[in-house]
Every structure is written in structure tokens, then in C-alpha cells.
Amino acid sequence: MAKNKTQWGTVKKLLGYIRKYTWLILASLLFAGVSAVLTLYVPILTGSAIDCIVSEGKVDFPGVFQTIKTILIVVLITSAAQWLLNVCNNRITYQIVRDMRKDAFAKIEILPLKYLDTRSYGELVSRVIADADQVAEGLLMGFTQFFTGVITILGTLCFMVSIQYKIALVVICITPLSLFVASFIAKRTYVMFKRQSEARGEQTALIEETIANQKVVQAFGQEEKVLVRFDEINERLRKYSLEATFFSSMTNPSTRFVNSLVYTGVGIFGAVAAVMGQISVGQLASFLSYANQYTKPFNEISGVVTELQNAIACAGRILELIEEEPQVSDRDAGELTGVKGNVSLSHVDFSYTKGQNLIVDFNLDVLPGQRVAIVGPTGCGKTTLINLLMRFYDVDAGAIQVEGEDIRDITRKSLRSSYGMVLQETWLREGTIFDNIRMGTDASREDVIQAAKASHAHSFIKRLPKGYDTWITEEGGGLSQGQKQLLCIARVMLSLPSMLILDEATSSIDTRTEIKIQKAFAKMMEGRTSFIVAHRLSTIKEADVILVMKDGHILEQGNHEKLLAENGFYATLYNSQFVAAKEAE
């Protein structure tokens, strides 16, 4: 019962997308009707031509030729109607799928990071790409064959009743059996196709994950384990696909058997009626043709129903994504302007998982131009604090204010554009080096080059085959991790926002280049509020305020000299690194 409700709910939501193209649906129905009626008119003309041939020497040639001319005209009009029907159906189908993909991708853009952090990227890709393709196939077959099939069945019955209603009753009596068989099988294929779609998404996720991290897989010798896992998912997909295909393929032969009974019944009763003089031989020929045409749509519709089950199952997965709860709306939020760098955190509580507090009663006031370094052991909440400042996550309690305004009352775009952020994990998009550096700005080539020089990326860029016009992939193929990070640093140096966030920004850069970058950063941070997350404590000695975090709390706070003098947790951390560095020398 719950399954039927879910399935019907998906259908209703799908109809919402279809409703936008009502005029195309009406046009499709019109052309389907014209095509079906004219196709059904041909057997009558054929029967008339047969009746013109009474016996040897008694052939009405003018009547035969006139009928043939009429048949040719009807066939030409039918062909044109079928072509226009296909044009309408293709437009309907692919515009609906385009709209669904657009809505799904737009929803991904506004989903809270909490949702994306707990989902496989490959599975989401599968919903937007593979599942949408399955919806397109099901809808195209549905629009192409379902409308025509239904009209053909109704039209055929009308024509048969007009010729001989008694024989038509035989057809009508046997028809429910065909409908029962198709319905019985269709109801059981939905769950099978849903499992198939889910397994396909799981497989896509594994492939995407493995390809993206192939170096790690090979470095740890995990090829065999990945293959075993892939084989297990692949086997499940094979099993589900086989079950769904086998069960759904029973529909056609089952309905064909019932339809053969219809044809046999029409042949027997029609022959008896012809012998008794109740119908002519031409009418019997028309009746047999109609019986064949009447049963054919049942086979097609049964196939359509099977494909629609698959399409509905896949549509359900896309719609589930589209209907996910988005991040809190910016509808009533204002623009953040005149940013000087005043940041305040007041009694902030936050947890990724309910009941597992990470940050508790966190308080901090940052003045314009201050450089705030955040240090502490792994898992203490350093990066989480950055996520909260950028509003990638919203606080559970308390408030974060910028220039005295709660960031929940500020649009995300204006808040985030006020920060320049360089993370430990680099992100580049497919395009040229030039496009990657000036992302989010309309900077000139000269400005881009100056930013690259300031970040010490210019020298390696000039050595590339096409310099700033060198094309790179989203993984930055051909570039080292350090070079990719230099490009991200150049990107921030180009935009020069009011505030900076540096989360292990030089972690992948050699020591010599790091010293140069630190000098560039020092110049860039002048007059700008900066938040610096660092594990190497030697890089943050010049910070105005150092926050020592542990278990989501500020354990110690002060500048480098003050914290060393206190001989507390920071001093222990610093001395352990200093000793380790000495021993390494």
C-alpha cells in the first residue's frame, strides 16, 4: 500500500512537469488521433476493394483504382501525422527531462553542505544523469505509443461495432483478460526497477570515487579489494536487472497469447457470419485486419507500462533530490556593505551530529585588521570555525556577527564575497590558467599576471606550453599539488577582499617558496582581518591573536610571546614542533 502511494505520488509530481507543455500534449493527441483513425480507415477501403472483385469477369476496375488512390492519399496523410506526432513527443520528453535536470542541479547548488557531506557524489551524479536518461526513455515510449495505442483500441472497437456488433462483443469479452495480465505483471516490476536504479547509482558512486582517488588506491595496494567490491555491486546490479527485465518481458508474450485468442475468436465467428450471409467477404477481411490492429496496441502498451515503471522509479529518485530541504533562504536578508573587519562570535554552540557537541559556548571578538591564528590538535574545531564564519553551516545556538549584523540576516553571497579563502584542498575548474585565476572577477590579463607574480606562480606558469592560456582539467592534471595551491593563492590575491581565511594555505608548498608566500601574505593582510589555521606554529608567530583550541573551546588566547611565557598547552605544542624540527636536522 505504501509502495502504491509512493508510486502515485511520483506520478502526480511528474504530471506537474508535463502540465507545462499542455499545448504540445494536445497537439500530440491530435496527431495521434489523426494517425490512428486514418490507419483504421485503410482496412475499410481494403474491404471495399475486395468487394469490387465479385467473381471472374465481374471486376469493378474503376472502383478498385479509385479505392487505391484513396488509400495512397490516406497513407500519405497518416505518415505526415506520425512524423508530427514524433516531433511533438520528442520535444515534450526532452524538455521535461531538461527541466528536471535543471531543477536537480539548481537544488544541489542550494543544498546545505551537511547533505552533500553525507552523500556519495557519484550517487548524486547518477540521479541527475543516468536516472534522467531512463525517465526520458520511458516518457518517450509512453507519449509515442500510449496515446496512439489507446486511440487505436477505441477506434477499432467503434469500427468493428459498426460492421458487426455481435462479433465485436467477442472481442470486448476477451479484452479484460489481457488488461488483467498486463496489470498483474506491471505492479510487480516497479520494486524491481527501483532496486536496479539504486544499484546503478551505487555502482556509479564507486566508479567516480575510484577514478578520482586512483593514486591512493594504487599506493595502498587496494586494487583487488576495489575490484571485489565492484564485482559485488555489479553482481547485484546484474541480478536486479535480470529480475526486472525477465519479469517485465513476460508481459508481451502473455498479452500476445490473449490477443491470439481474440484473433481466433474473430476468425471463427466471422467465418460463420460470412457463410450465413450476415457480412461480406470484404467485411470479414476488414474485421480480421481490425482484430489484428486491436490486439497490437495491447502488446505495445504492456511494453510501455513496463518502461514507465522504470521511468517512475528513476523519476522518484530525481524528485527526492529536488524536494530535499534547501539551506535557510536569503529571502529577507540584506546585503553586507562597508566591511571593515569587525567579527564577533557570541555563545556559539555547534555540532555536526545531534547530541555530539563540537563547539560549546564559543566567544570571540575580532577587531578590524587583526590577524587571528587558530591552532590546536586535530578535531578540535579549527576548520569547523571557518565553516561557521563562511556560513557553510549555521550555528545551533548563539550568533556570529559581522559589522554588528547577524550573518543569518545577511545574504550568503555578500558575506562570502567579503572573505578571500585559501584552503588546504585546492579546487580548479576545467579551463585555462587565466580563467582559473580570475574566477569570480572580470580582471584584466595584466591584473592576473600581477597576482600570479605576487603569489610566485608566474615563473612556473610561463614554463607551461601555452603559458596563461594552458588548458587544465578540474583535477589540474600535469600540475603539482603545490602549483595548484599557488594558483588558488593567486586567485585570492587578485580579488583582495576585506577579510581573509587561510586554512593551511601553504601546506603543499616547499619551505623556500613558503617563506616568499608568507611575505606576500603579510603584505596582503595589512589592514585586513585575517583568520589563519595552521599546524606549523612557526608560520603564525606574527599573528596579533593566537587562539589555542581544544575540544571546541578556547583553551588559551594571546600573542606568541605571551603564550610561550604562560608555558601552557601552546608552549607544549610549539616546543614539540621545535624539538622535532631540530631532531630532523
CATH numbers and ranges of domains, the chain: 18-322 (1.20.1560.10), 343-584 (3.40.50.300)
Q: What is the distance, to the nearest Å, from the Cα of residue 33 to the centroid of all Cα atoms in its chain?
A: 36
Residues 419-444: tens digit of each pLDDT = 888 777 777 878 888 988 888 778 88
Reply yes or no on whether the pLDDT at 502 is more than 70.
yes
Identify the CA nearest to 146 among candidates 360, 338, 300.
300
SS (H, E, C) 273-337: HHHCCCCCHHHHHHHHHHHHHHHHHHHHHHHHHHHHHHHHHHHHHHHHHHCCCCCCCCCCCECCC
272-281, 444-453, 488-497: which is most confident:
444-453
Residues 206-245: tens digit of each pLDDT = 887 787 777 677 777 778 888 888 899 889 888 888 888 7
Residues 266-291: tens digit of each pLDDT = 777 777 777 777 777 677 777 777 77
Residues 320-330: tens digit of each pLDDT = 888 888 777 66
**Residue 582 neighbours by CB under 8 Å, 6+ apart:** none
298 contacts 153 by C-beta, under 8 angstroms: yes
pLDDT of residue 302: 65
Quick one: average pLDDT of 513-538?
A: 76
pLDDT of residue 577: 66
Identify the helix (H) or strand (E) that includes residue 360.
Answer: strand 359-366
- Cα dist. 403→115, 338, 392, 411, 469 in Å? 30, 8, 19, 14, 40
SS (H, E, C) 190-228: HHHHHHHHHHHHHHHHHHHHHHHCHHHHHHCCCHHHHHH
Q: Band of the pLDDT at 472, cuts 50, 70, 90? A: confident
Tell me how far apart the alpha carbons of residues 487 and 418 are, in angstroms, rounded to a whole number.
20
Q: Which residue has the cell 535536470?
A: 101
Identify the helix (H) or strand (E) that includes residue 346.
Answer: strand 343-350
- Cα dist. 447→435, 460, 487, 522 in Å? 12, 17, 14, 20
Reply yes or no on whether the pLDDT at 57 is more than 80.
no
Rg (CA), the chain: 36
Residues 124-176: tens digit of each pLDDT = 888 888 888 888 877 777 777 777 777 777 777 777 777 777 777 777 777 67
Reply yes or no on whether the pLDDT at 460 is more than 80.
yes
Tell me how far apart the alpha carbons of residues 503 and 533 are, in angstroms, rounded to a whole number.
5
Reply yes or no on whether the pLDDT at 584 is more than 50.
no
pTM of the full structure: 0.64
